[in-house]
Every structure is written in C-alpha cells, then in structure tokens.
Amino acid sequence: MTKSRRPLTKKEIGEFRKLLLEKREEIWKEIRTELKSRVSEEYHGLINDVNDEQDLAQIDLQEEVVLGVLETRKKELEAISQALWRIEHGEYGRCIECEDWICTERLKVRPWAVYCIPCKERLEKLGKV
C-alpha cells in the first residue's frame, strides 16, 4: 500500500516548522552538552600531562569522537536549515528529485527529508545518497 502523497496544508506546514525549530534547538543543546563534557578539566589535564605515545593516542581518540559527533550534528543542522528555507520559499514537502509530494508519514519521521521514498530508494540503489 502506498502512502498518501499530497500537498501539505498550512496547518501541517506550521507544525513541521515548529518541529524543525524544536529539533534544531535540541541538537544545539546536545552539542553544548557534548562539548562541556568532553572538553573538561580532565581533558585539559591530559593535554598538559602528556607523557608518552599512549597519552597522545588517548587524546587523539577523544578528539575524533568529539569531531565525529559534531560533524553528524552539523549535517543535521544544515538539513534542518534547508528545510526551513524550503518552508519560507513554498517548496517544503516536495521531492527535489521528482518534484512529487513527500508523504506526510515520512516527514513526521524525518521532517528535513528532501526525497520521497521511491526516489530515496532508487538513489540508494545507485549509490548516490
């Protein structure tokens, strides 16, 4: 059974806008928390007390973890910003590949989605997303 693919109502667009703004704030809070916990006095102590290669390896690992988390969050924030831009310009809810409507069920799960499910699946098979 295919999902409903139709234009969004103004009310739905408003709800998705609110959801996107809340998700953006949630991500920023997670970033701040992550940075505060990872860049703690203990971490600074490690940097100041580097004694050997093992200490350097531990510092490098911590930095990689933090940067990996931040990179993932950065991509989500960019996608959210793009979705908010599409709302402001009347393009939200349309697939950027086929220009058909993205089903509301998909947008509820991933409100920053830019592809409808058929296009997403096709592009994944081609290795393009």
**Residues of the chain by 3-state class (helix, strand, coil), percent to 5:** 70, 0, 30
Q: Which fold has domain 10-126?
A: Four Helix Bundle (Hemerythrin (Met), subunit A) (1.20.120)
The rounded distance, in Å, linking the Cα atoms of 14 and 63 is 39
Domain borders along the chain are: 10-126
- pLDDT digits 0-9 by tens, 90-117: 999 999 999 999 999 999 999 999 999 9
Q: Which residues is 101 bridged to in the sheet?
A: 94
The whole-model pTM stands at 0.76
pLDDT one-digit tens code per residue, 53-70: 666 666 666 667 777 778
